Amino acid sequence: MRKHPTMVNRAKDYLEHRRALGFALDISGELLLQFARFADDSGHRGPLTTELVLRWAALPEKASPRYRAGRLAIVRPFARYMDCRCLTPLCSTRSVACAPNWDGVAMVCCCLIPASMTSGTASRVDGSCSGTSKEWMSITPFRLLRPIWDTAKSPTRTGISRGQLSCFRRPVNVSKNSQGSSLPALPEKRFEQSLVEYLTKEQMQSLLDAPDTSSRIGRRDCVLLMLMYNTGARVSEIADLRVGDLRPESGGSVHFHGKGRKQRSVPLWRKTVQLLRKWLEETASSADKPLLPNSRGGFMTRAGVAQRLSQAVATAAAQNPTLRKSHISPHTIRHTTAMHLLQSGVDLSTIAMWLGHESIQTTHQYLEADLESKRKALASVKRPRPSQSRRTASKPLMQFLENL
């Protein structure tokens, strides 16, 4: 008969895989081996149970709840690893709740729910769930559970109300979509989506003229606002720009490292290139230095960019009071760039590449918000002219009136 591997051997395999990925796991690795030795010394065979993990986490008896929580946190990724490797069925009606990843493989949800929490509802919570089930899985988020180490001393104390668990009693149906991947067959939540807010060209010009160029901070803010309007970049992309990201050749462009590790280049206006050249002559930074440094010479944060924009809006509002009526954020400048490109006749696919959108459906929101294009479309339609018929009096009536 084939001998089952011990828990220590499984823990060593897990630590070897994790360390091959670059994780140190010095202290946590030693604690995990202590748990494995505890399980072997206890004569435990088969699936991991809540009682086993809680007995080990409660050692020593006078340990604080924070210490016990740390010991539980070490066992959870090991339990997920064992379930993915099909080393042991981890899901039972008393121990753990499963959560699916989007490839259809059942994953352990880091919970280890005590039997007292699911008493009376175990058949609904995870009674039909197995470690490799791909059809029905129960989801119980750990963030909604109270600290379960309290149940180690008092098995009758649930630590969580049944009302909090009631929304997780129904299993989630996982079905195949048209591409063949397993996704939860849940309808998307409907929500109210407002139209895009953007600035007019007059408002944007007032905003660009707001910084005081007599100071270094003002000149930096002038370059910042011009770059934001020229490129329509996200605030994180602007804040992370380095001097080496500028491309002065072929008229001038800037290279962005966008969301999702996607990169793109955006051309610059001649005015923007002139401002950047003057700014680089003043800063004289190396290629790896931030293009728009803060007061300490480091990279600006998103909050810092928003604060400088708010100050420019307050200054520009004195000349253009219409700026006081709406909240202007760095993303508003991004919307403004897209809307002005659209109003200038640029097609949606080019705007999507300009902004770094993955799908053109995201860019379609600007077409819906462009009221001027809708007016032009309405003007191209021939207006109906309803007939204005007048009521004429009958001939006998007219003769009667003429004879008077």
Q: Tell me the C-alpha distance between 65 and 248, whole Å.
A: 59
In Å, what is the CA distance from 225 to each residue of 117, 329, 341?
Answer: 56, 12, 17
Q: Tell me the C-alpha distance between 305 and 358, whole Å.
A: 25
Q: Is 219 a catalytic residue?
A: no
Of 18, 68, 219, 334, the catalytic one is 334
Q: Tell me the C-alpha distance between 109 and 95, whole Å.
A: 11
The full DSSP string for 195-260 is: PPP---HHHHHHHHT-S-TTSHHHHHHHHHHHHHHHH---HHHHHT-BGGGEE-STT-EEEEE-GG
Of 234, 308, 335, 340, the catalytic one is 234
Q: Is 334 a catalytic residue?
A: yes
Q: Is 357 a catalytic residue?
A: yes
| Nearest-10 crossing angle of helices 50-57, 27-41 | 120
Of 357, 375, 376, 382, the catalytic one is 357
Of 37, 257, 331, 364, the catalytic one is 331
Q: Is 234 a catalytic residue?
A: yes
Element (H, E) at 33: helix 27-41
- Nearest CA to 245 among 203, 291, 202? 291
Q: Tell me the C-alpha distance between 7 and 41, whole Å.
A: 10
Helix spans in 60-179 (H): 65-84, 122-125, 162-166
CA 346, distance to chain mean position in Å, is: 29
To 10 degrees, the CA torsion angle through 88, 92, 94, 96? Answer: 70
| Nearest-10 crossing angle of helices 360-369, 348-355 | 120
Of 216, 259, 324, 374, the catalytic one is 259
- Please provide the size of the chain in residues: 404
User: Which residues are part of the catalytic machinery?
Assistant: 234, 259, 331, 334, 357, 366
